[in-house]
Amino acid sequence: KRQELPRVSEEPNGGQLVQLAGAPAMHVHASQCPFPDSFQPSYDHTQHSPLPWLAFGITGACLVIAAFVATAPEWIYIGPICIVLVTLIGFCFSSLRVVDEADSLVARFGAIPLFRKRIAYSDIASAVATQICVIDGWGIHWTPLRGWTYNVWGFGCVLLQLNNGNKLRIGSDEPSELAAFLQKRIGRNPDIGTAYEKGEADVD
């Protein structure tokens, strides 16, 4: 007897409706879909940064100057090591991809996926488009009373207030769109006038 395959249909929330022959249909949450390859993210945006190229240029200029000025033979070894390190760091922070992954939002840095942050939607209390301060800067770092910042370029970001009271800032060149998606995803209406659109420097 030929084994019948289950019938699978997509649902608007990213889940699946699975039905076997002669059995009632089962609603499966997106995070538990038996066919994950069919999942399409509702949000996927990549922001690129010119910082790696600036770092390459500055490092190259310094090495050229050092080659003419320095007389120590150690520069023969120090130069290539510096180039390798700067190249590695540059590829790690050349971009920031923010993507929806069913039950969580994931921020991935660069072409070399060494650094990333996953935030479950169930852990997010609110999301507001705003602007980071100079002290927040670029890269990955923690600031007292302000929480973690994940940013590659610019000052636009989305401030996440987590259920545990912590704050987290995700840099973006389209903060209003990201905030609207998150508000919809966590079941809240997007703010009509966000802090970013009002020109406020920060939201605490």
* Residue scoring higher pLDDT (143 or 52): 143
Strands 167-171 and 147-151, by their bridges, are: parallel
Residue 32 lies in a domain: yes
Condensed to tens digits (0 to 9), the pLDDT of residues 81-98 reads 777 787 777 777 889 999
Residue 47 lies in a domain: no
pLDDT at res. 81: 77
Instruction: Look at residue 30 and tell me whether its pLDDT is greater than 60.
Output: no
Residue 94 lies in a domain: no
Instruction: Look at residue 100 and tell me whether its pLDDT is greater than 90.
Output: yes
Radius of gyration of the chain (CA): 23
Residue range 144-163: mean pLDDT, rounded: 92
Residue 66 lies in a domain: no
pLDDT at res. 57: 76
Instruction: Look at residue 39 and tell me whether its pLDDT is greater than 50.
Output: yes
Domain count, the chain: 2
Strand order in the sheet with 7-10: 7-10, 16-19, 26-28
Residue 125 lies in a domain: yes
Q: What is the pTM of this model?
A: 0.63
Q: State the residue range of the domain holding 33.
A: 7-38
Per the prediction, the chain carries an average pLDDT of 75
Residue 106 lies in a domain: no
Instruction: Look at residue 5 and tell me whether its pLDDT is greater than 50.
Output: no
Residue 100 lies in a domain: no
Instruction: Look at residue 189 and tell me whether its pLDDT is greater than 70.
Output: no
Residue 65 lies in a domain: no
Q: Which residues pair with 7 in a beta bridge?
A: 19
Q: Considering the chain, what percentage of its residues have pLDDT values greater than 90? A: 31
Confidence category of residue 1, pLDDT binned at 50, 70, 90: very low
Pick the closest to residue 132 from 197, 191, 192, 203 (CA basis). 203
